[in-house]
Amino acid sequence: MESVRRIVQLEESVINRIAAGEVVVRPANALKELIENCLDAGSRSVAIMVKAGGLKMLRIEDDGHGIRSEDLPILCERFTTSKLQKYEDLQGIGTFGFRGEALASISHVAQITVTTMTESSQVASMAQYSEGHLVGPVRPCAGTKGTTIVVENMFYNNPTRKQALKESLEHSKVLEVVQRYAIHHPSVAFSCRKASGAAELATAGSSPSAREVIGTIWGQGLAKELFPFEVKSEEPRFSCRGFASGPNYSSRSSTLILFINNRLVECAPLKRAVEAVYQPVLPRHQHPWVYLALDVDPQCIDVNVHPTKMEVQFLHEETISLRLQEALAGQLRSLGTSRNFAAAL
């Protein structure tokens, strides 16, 4: 007869690896967190280099405020952050990162090397991390103000995950994250390139408007079909601005680039709501291109429903979706009539 097995606690390193694998599902998740850190640090320029879809290497160089060398020993420990001190801070947090968990999680699925320099220091410092801890000493080195983070051999300790990921798909996901942050931050210069090639994306960082950046990245063909979009409401309180394609543009795949309170997120109900507006306007199986920056009361949003923080839930989701639909539909109608009117002349 089979004996009942004893229940034992897993080793801590195994627990950490499992938890980290839920936060960092693929290289693009790690990159999103690293870009958000650059933006939190006030960077004007963010340069990204990618090897093998980010699985071999992701390198992110910024010109932000840097990290104090005294802080480097605990940088990748879990729950170490400069952005949050007590639970209540979570509610009003304006910065992107807020749990001090990103670097820790990445260090459990990859090796991390950080080079950083603050305004007030004479030299840069370099430190390496693995499994949440500093490896070896913090060393002084040459550098300029800002931070460079190199993430190598992602999922080296999880061969199943590594095999399941295809380099080319991962690369396109990585590029997509960069494109989206570049649109949302037209005044930051983003670049992204493969280690082996020229830049696939480079924005000037001086554009006053997302439309110019969209033109740089997706081409003027799309940019000129877009109309600016804005809606504000007091009850429930929210505001939304963005760019949406008009009736002349359609694509086989649907694009909704959604930032809620400056975080790149996904929200399936909102996506369906946007698509529904276009259904009577576009031919069958054709879809719009929409970029929305939605700001809601931070207290109404729960970003912690999913470990990757990608899928969010917020209060008044239905009312906000409806208001957005009305506003979008109204704009589309007015474009439609002016076009018909012009054609009739």
Cα 42 from Cα 96, distance rounded (Å) = 12
Nearest to 301 by CA among 284, 320, 273: 320
CB 324 within 8 A of CB 273: yes
Cα 250 from Cα 247, distance rounded (Å) = 8
Q: How far is the CB of 238 from Mg ion (least distance, A)?
A: 25
In sequence order, what are the beta bridge partners of 148?
Answer: 61, 115
Quick check: 24 binds ligand ADP (CB under 6 A)?
no
Return the residue of 103, 117, 175, 260 that touches ligand ADP, per CB under 6 A: 103
Please list, in sequence order, all residues whose beta carbon lies within 8 angstroms of the beta carbon of residue 305, skipping any fewer than 6 positions away.
Answer: 311, 312, 313
Which of ligand ADP, Mg ion, none binds 170 (CB below 5-8 Å, type-dependent)?
Answer: none
H or E segment to which residue 117 belongs? strand 111-117
Please, what is the Cα angle at 168 between 164 and 173, to 5 degrees?
90
Quick check: 109 binds Mg ion (CB under 5 A)?
no
Nearest to 41 by CA among 177, 151, 147, 192: 147
Q: How far is the CB of 80 from Mg ion (least distance, A)?
A: 11
First to last CA, the chain: 89
Return the residue of 21, 100, 205, 242 that touches ligand ADP, per CB under 6 A: 100
CB 231 within 8 A of CB 263: no
Which of Mg ion, ligand ADP, none binds 99 (CB below 5-8 Å, type-dependent)?
Answer: ligand ADP
Cα 160 from Cα 98, distance rounded (Å) = 30
* Residues shown for the chain: 345
Which of Mg ion, ligand ADP, none binds 186 (CB below 5-8 Å, type-dependent)?
Answer: none
Helix axis angle for 268-278 and 317-344, nearest 10°, is 20
Quick check: 308 binds Mg ion (CB under 5 A)?
no
Quick check: 110 binds ligand ADP (CB under 6 A)?
no
Q: How far is the CB of 38 from ligand ADP (least distance, A)?
A: 5
Spacing of C-alpha 138 from chain mean position: 29
Return the residue of 44, 51, 56, 83 that touches ligand ADP, per CB under 6 A: 83
Quick check: 48 binds ligand ADP (CB under 6 A)?
no
Q: Which residue's CB is nearer to Mg ion, number 106 or number 301?
A: 106
Instruction: Lay out the site mask for ligand ADP across 57-76 (x = CB under 6 A, - = otherwise).
Output: -----x-xxxx-------x-
Q: Which residue's CB is nearer to ligand ADP, number 149 or number 183?
A: 149
Which of ligand ADP, Mg ion, none binds 103 (CB below 5-8 Å, type-dependent)?
Answer: ligand ADP
Q: Which residue is nearest to ligand ADP (CB)?
A: 97
On the CB side of 301, how many CA atoms lie within 13 Å of its CA? 25
Distances (CA, A) of 85 to 79, 91, 280: 10, 12, 50
Cα 336 from Cα 250, distance rounded (Å) = 14
Q: Which residue's CB is nearer to ligand ADP, number 138 or number 270?
A: 138
Return the residue of 16, 29, 37, 179 that touches Mg ion, per CB under 5 A: 37
Quick check: 58 binds Mg ion (CB under 5 A)?
no
| Binding piece for Mg ion, criterion CB under 5 A, among 89-97, 110-118, 128-136, 170-178 | 89-97
Which of ligand ADP, Mg ion, none binds 81 (CB below 5-8 Å, type-dependent)?
Answer: ligand ADP
Which residues of this protein are in contact with ligand ADP, per CB under 6 A? 33, 37-38, 41, 62, 64-67, 75, 80-83, 97-104, 147
Which residues of this protein are in contact with Mg ion, per CB under 5 A? 37, 97, 102
